[in-house]
């Protein structure tokens, strides 16, 4: 399809939806190694925000790969496309008025910068779930590190593929020796303040 065949369709202003929902949207982008605690924290934050009356949604990397991104592998280009699609969905859902908690390894800074750019004027928080590799590997909740160390998973982030930690995240959450409930508090507070009307 040629670019000159596609035109932006003007629709109801998103602010009308936000006003009806009684909240403003935001996107929290959780990044960190496998086993860092991203999904667990995302779920805890989601539950607390829902209990506080916010309309929310979690976009989890593994869950997205079960459907929307099931055609993608783990090559560099596929990983970049995985991030792009997640960011585009997050932006659409934020335009609908939801508070999004996105849980993806998203190992490269350039991809996280691109995700922030897609968010546009939607408040975007890069949240670094800062858990040492040794701790993630000891947890190994999905048995992935063991398989990666055995050479059964090529290009595994943190082992045979790089992870670029954020240089200036909006929020850093350390999970080593800290309960999930306590780890989630700073993000809950940040999102409650950003989603207030």
Residue 106 domain flag:
yes
Tokens 């200036």 — which residue? 168
pLDDT tens digits for range 13-22: 888 989 998 9
Residue 158 domain flag:
yes
The active-site residue, picked from 106, 134, 160, 183, is 106
Residue 1 domain flag:
no
In the sheet that holds 124-130, the strands lie side by side as 56-60, 99-103, 26-31, 124-130, 171-174
Residue 11 domain flag:
no
What lies within 8 Å, CB to CB, of 160 at 6+ separation is: 148, 153, 154
Band the pLDDT of 197: cuts 50, 70, 90: low
Rg of the chain, C-alpha, whole Å: 17
Residue 8 domain flag:
no
Domain housing 162: 22-195
CA 149/CA 113 separation, integer angstroms? 30
- Report the CATH number at residue 40: 3.40.50.300
Residue 46 domain flag:
yes
In this model, does residue 1 exceed pLDDT 90?
A: no
pLDDT tens digits for range 44-73: 999 999 999 999 999 999 999 999 999 998
Residue 5 domain flag:
no
Report phi then psi at 140, rounded to 5.
35, 60
193 is catalytic: no
Q: Which residue, among 62, 28, 32, has the nearest Cα to 42 in the 3D structure?
A: 28
Which helix H or strand E contains 67, and what residues bound it?
none
**Total number of domains in the chain:** 1
In this model, does residue 123 exceed pLDDT 80?
A: yes
Q: Which residue, among 65, 86, 87, has the nearest Cα to 74 in the 3D structure?
A: 65
pLDDT at 189: 94
Residue 134 domain flag:
yes
CA 191/CA 52 separation, integer angstroms? 11
């Amino acid at each position: 399809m040629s670019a000159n065949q596609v035109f932006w369709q003007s629709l109801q202003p998103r602010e009308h939806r936000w006003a009806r929902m009684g909240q403003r949207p935001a996107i929290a982008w959780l990044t960190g190694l496998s086993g860092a605690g991203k999904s667990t924290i995302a779920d805890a934050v989601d539950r607390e925000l829902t209990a506080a009356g916010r309309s929310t949604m979690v976009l989890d990397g593994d869950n997205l790969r079960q459907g929307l991104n099931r055609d993608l592998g783990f090559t560099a280009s596929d990983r970049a496309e995985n991030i792009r699609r997640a960011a585009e969905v997050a932006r659409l859902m934020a335009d609908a008025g939801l508070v999004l908690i996105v849980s993806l390894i998203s190992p490269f800074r350039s991809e996280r910068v691109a995700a922030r750019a897609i968010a546009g004027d939607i408040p975007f928080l890069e949240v670094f779930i800062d858990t040492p590799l040794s701790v993630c590997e000891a947890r190994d909740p999905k048995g992935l590190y063991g398989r990666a160390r055995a050479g059964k998973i090529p290009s595994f982030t943190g082992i045979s593929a790089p992870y670029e930690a954020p240089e200036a995240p909006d929020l850093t959450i350390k999970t080593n020796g800290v309960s999930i409930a306590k780890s989630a508090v700073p993000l809950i507070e940040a999102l409650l303040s950003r989603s207030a009307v």
